[in-house]
Amino acid sequence: MEPKRVELLGVPMDLGGGLRGVDMGPSAIRIAGLGPRIAALGHTFTDGGNVPVRRPESREARDPRARFLGPIAQCCRRLSDRVERILDAGSFPLVVGGDHSIAVGTVAGISRWYASREQRIGLIWFDAHADMNTPETSPSGNVHGMPLACCIGHGPRELTSLGPRLPMVAPQNAVLIGIRDVDERERELVRTTGVKAYTMREVDMLGMDRVMREAVEIASEGTAGFHLSFDLDGCDPHVAPGVGTPVPGGVTQREAHLMLEHAAESGGLLGLEMTEINPILDERNRTAELAVDMVLSGLGKRIV
């Protein structure tokens, strides 16, 4: 793989989830050696610092159907601007959360940059959950259960409108991988929007190799390439215990590596994002270390 200039942005946001702690994700992944290990691969690494985020203590949740929507949208707007500037500089955006609601900002930034060149982007979303609730369907009102819906044009206007157009990503270029816990009223959106969903059943039956080959094809069809948004809870809790909402029956460490290796080999990866690392629930930082391993595979690390 060609050497890249990789720029890290941390987004210490925990406004979108129900459990505290994912705001420490960016620190945990830095402590796990992210920068030096990316540099050791032959890339140039820059740490762009953190995007400022409001503390939940300083704000009221307000709308119970979309808690902290205002400050989340504000953070996503800042993040999207930073991501655009990274692309302007010819660098590769690597975003580390924080809860998964930050993906709206990342996707908005990448899609805006490509839209100004009259190109669209695809999206691969790795997750135990579909993240396709809306304020109308969400049982919890936690915005981290809504970002994929927002990226494909459903949800609060404060978030869906951050992109260059509505939707930021065409549903037919969006792929979900690894889901195994979908809310009752969320199902309909998963079924009807045109997003391709590879549940754990499909991963089991087809194998990650075929799933990822197909996913890359779908996300690349008519686009400049794709962003990969990786929620650590997509992995099995045995390998990634430090996540806010663990769900048994996830992908193995090796399957997750294979996914990132395919993304790297496709040549179409436009941005990469690691979310939902919760150091409070982790065991000696192993989930952050796993996230670093995943990033390295996504940036072209091979076994031999």
Residues annotated as catalytic are 100, 127, 129, 131, 144, 231, 233, 276
Asked if 125 and 190 touch (Cβ cutoff 8 Å), the reply is no
Q: Which is nearer to Mn ion, 87 or 291 (CB)?
A: 291
Q: How far is the CB of 123 from Mn ion (least distance, A)?
A: 13
Supply angle C-alpha 288, 289, 295, rounded to 5. Answer: 90
Q: Which is nearer to Mn ion, 127 or 273 (CB)?
A: 127
Q: Which is nearer to Mn ion, 132 or 258 (CB)?
A: 132
How far is it, in rounded angstroms, from Cα 67 to Cα 69? 5
The 140-179 site mask, x for binding Mn ion (CB under 5 A), equals ----------------------------------------
How far is it, in rounded angstroms, from Cα 9 to Cα 163? 19
Identified binder of Mn ion from the candidate list 231, 236, 255, 261, rule CB under 5 A: 231
Which residue, among 206, 91, 104, 111, has the nearest Cα to 148 in the 3D structure?
104
Q: How far is the CB of 131 from Mn ion (least distance, A)?
A: 4
> Taking each helix axis from N to C terminus, what angle separates 69-88 and 103-115, rounded to the nearest 10 degrees?
40
Restricting to residues 120-139, which ones interact with Mn ion according to CB under 5 A? 127, 131
Q: How far is the CB of 129 from Mn ion (least distance, A)?
A: 5
How far is it, in rounded angstroms, from Cα 45 to Cα 10? 14
Q: Which is nearer to Mn ion, 32 or 277 (CB)?
A: 277
Restricting to residues 88-127, which ones interact with Mn ion according to CB under 5 A? 100, 127
Q: Which is nearer to Mn ion, 127 or 282 (CB)?
A: 127
Q: How far is the CB of 256 from Mn ion (least distance, A)?
A: 14
**Residue 187 CB neighbours (<10 A):** 13
How far is it, in rounded angstroms, from Cα 304 to Cα 286? 24
**Size, binding site for Mn ion by CB under 5 A:** 4
Q: How far is the CB of 60 from Mn ion (least distance, A)?
A: 24
Q: How far is the CB of 120 from Mn ion (least distance, A)?
A: 23
How far is it, in rounded angstroms, from Cα 4 to Cα 7? 9
How far is it, in rounded angstroms, from Cα 277 to Cα 22? 6
Q: Which is nearer to Mn ion, 119 or 140 (CB)?
A: 140
The reply on whether position 273 binds Mn ion by CB under 5 A is no
Give the footprint of Mn ion on this chain (CB under 5 A).
100, 127, 131, 231
